[in-house]
């Protein structure tokens, strides 16, 4: 299976939004390791601790701490700079936060994307732009069928709706402006990502790590729910390979799912939590139902197009992804350097045959 190509990325000027976050931090580290010249655009880290600080993600990155909801600030931050490629990962990514602040979520995810795409119209030499949305962009009737890229978009909660709307914004900019520029503009729909350094509120692994460190029980709302679990390196690798093809291969599809290897067994929230708590030596989880939750009980995405068109698929099955994740947290707590742990896992991932 394909991996990101250092030969492609070396020397490329890359704009990466969301570099202060979890997935964005891993992407920044991997890109700089391959020799890319990375400019980051994001809000300051909103987690304590934060991978951005732990792994010194800002080293080797030209970092702009800017709010994408402020179009003038985005234009000012990017003025006078030119980019070869853009990976837009910045977002408000938490479903429960979107319930508490729907307007803020719509502003960040929809208008933030529009502001960025509008600003980038002044860069006609761009090779490709990739906007990251979510596996939750699909209208989910809870049938259990894995979604394909041609399925209808929708969203029961503000987060899902904001990401589905972002897809429409991207499509409109692609057809109205970027096609005339000759710049491919696409979206990637990733699964539920786990990995070392995620400390977000209301994220399963982060909640387990926090509870485990004080020997408390993790509370699960929907242990029976299934999700397309994917290690952060599988997800980021897919995005980077996709950008490579968008920049170099004609007629590359402009929407792509990235998730677990096709044909793999679905893993429930409870199963993942059982493995994770055992790996940390933490107390067993407990179930506290939330009757008001809008979260889907079943969610799966079909990533077969990525294999057919890109020659890419995830390498780590869900149980192995949990092992890698918990190993990172355990070793970091024991005193190992977070940045070194990230690079070690990237190198290990690249070596898988």
Domain ranges of the chain: 7-351
Note if the bond before 49 is cis, omega within 30 degrees.
yes
Which of 15-29, 65-79, 220-234, 264-278 shows the lowest mean pLDDT across its residues? 264-278
In CATH terms, is domain 7-351 a member of 3.40.50.720? yes
Share of the chain above pLDDT 70, in %: 97
Which of 293-302, 308-317, 321-330 shows the lowest mean pLDDT across its residues? 293-302
Q: Is residue 311 within a helix (H) or strand (E), and if so which, with residue range?
A: none
pLDDT tens track for 264-294 = 667 889 988 998 898 888 889 999 887 766 6
Is the pLDDT confidence value at 262 over 70? Answer: no
Is the pLDDT confidence value at 206 over 70? Answer: yes
Is the pLDDT confidence value at 56 over 90? Answer: yes
Which pLDDT does position 298 carry in this prediction?
Answer: 65
From the list 148, 183, 150, the residue with the least C-alpha distance to 258 is 148
Which pLDDT does position 212 carry in this prediction?
Answer: 84
From the list 342, 317, 327, the residue with the least C-alpha distance to 278 is 327
From the list 325, 76, 68, the residue with the least C-alpha distance to 209 is 325
**Is residue 260 very low, low, confident or very high in pLDDT (cuts 50, 70, 90)?**
confident
> Residue 111 CB: number of other CB atoms within 10 A?
18
How far is the C-alpha of 99 from the C-alpha of 158, rounded, in Å?
6
Which of 46-60, 61-75, 155-169, 218-232 shows the lowest mean pLDDT across its residues? 218-232
The 3-state DSSP class for residue 192 equals strand
How far is the C-alpha of 251 from the C-alpha of 272, rounded, in Å?
38
Give me the count of residues in the chain. Answer: 353
From the list 221, 228, 245, the residue with the least C-alpha distance to 190 is 228
Which pLDDT does position 214 carry in this prediction?
Answer: 87
Which pLDDT does position 135 carry in this prediction?
Answer: 92
Tell me the pLDDT of the chain averaged across its residues.
Answer: 93
Q: Where are the beta strands (DSSP E) in the chain?
A: 13-17, 37-42, 61-65, 85-88, 128-132, 185-190, 192-194, 219-220, 226-227, 229-231, 255-258, 267-268, 286-287
> Residue 287 CB: number of other CB atoms within 10 A?
12
What is the spatial order of strands in the sheet that 61-65 belongs to? 61-65, 37-42, 13-17, 85-88, 128-132, 185-190, 255-258
Regarding pTM above 0.75, the answer is yes
Is the pLDDT confidence value at 70 over 70? Answer: yes
Mean pLDDT to the nearest integer, 140-155: 89
**Is residue 124 very low, low, confident or very high in pLDDT (cuts 50, 70, 90)?**
confident
Is the pLDDT confidence value at 239 over 80? Answer: yes
Is the pLDDT confidence value at 44 over 80? Answer: yes
Which pLDDT does position 86 carry in this prediction?
Answer: 98
The 3-state DSSP class for residue 201 equals coil
């Amino acid at each position: 299976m394909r991996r990101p190509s250092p030969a492609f990325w070396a020397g490329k000027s890359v704009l990466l939004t969301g570099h202060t976050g979890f997935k964005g931090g891993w992407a920044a580290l991997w890109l700089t390791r391959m020799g890319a010249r990375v400019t980051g655009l994001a809000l300051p880290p909103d987690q304590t601790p934060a991978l951005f600080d732990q792994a010194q993600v800002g080293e080797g990155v030209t970092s702009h701490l800017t709010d994408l909801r402020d179009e003038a600030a985005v234009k000012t931050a990017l003025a006078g700079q030119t980019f070869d490629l853009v990976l837009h990962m910045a977002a408000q990514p938490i479903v429960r936060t979107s319930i508490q602040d729907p307007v803020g979520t719509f502003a960040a995810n929809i208008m933030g994307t529009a502001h960025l795409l509008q600003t980038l119209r002044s860069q006609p030499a761009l090779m490709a732009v990739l906007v990251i949305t979510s596996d939750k962009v699909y209208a989910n009737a809870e049938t259990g069928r894995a979604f394909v890229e041609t399925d209808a978009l929708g969203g029961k909660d503000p987060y899902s709706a904001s990401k589905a709307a972002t897809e429409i914004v991207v499509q409109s900019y692609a057809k109205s402006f970027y096609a005339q520029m000759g710049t491919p503009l696409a979206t990637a729909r990733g699964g539920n990502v786990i990995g070392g350094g995620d400390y977000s509120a209301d994220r399963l692994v982060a909640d387990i790590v926090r509870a485990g460190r004080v020997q408390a029980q993790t509370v699960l709302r929907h242990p029976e729910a299934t999700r397309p679990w994917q290690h952060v390196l599988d997800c980021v690798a897919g995005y980077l390979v996709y950008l490579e093809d968008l920049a170099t291969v004609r007629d590359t599809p402009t929407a792509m799912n990235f998730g677990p290897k096709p044909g793999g067994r679905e893993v429930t929230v409870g199963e993942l939590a059982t493995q994770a708590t055992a790996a940390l030596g933490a107390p067993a989880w407990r179930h506290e139902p939330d009757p008001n939750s809008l979260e889907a009980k079943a969610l799966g995405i079909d990533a077969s197009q990525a294999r057919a068109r890109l020659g890419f698929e995830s390498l780590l099955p869900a149980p192995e992804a949990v092992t890698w994740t918990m190993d990172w947290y355990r070793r970091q707590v024991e005193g190992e350097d977070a940045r070194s742990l990230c690079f070690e896992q990237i190198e290990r991932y690249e070596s898988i045959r």
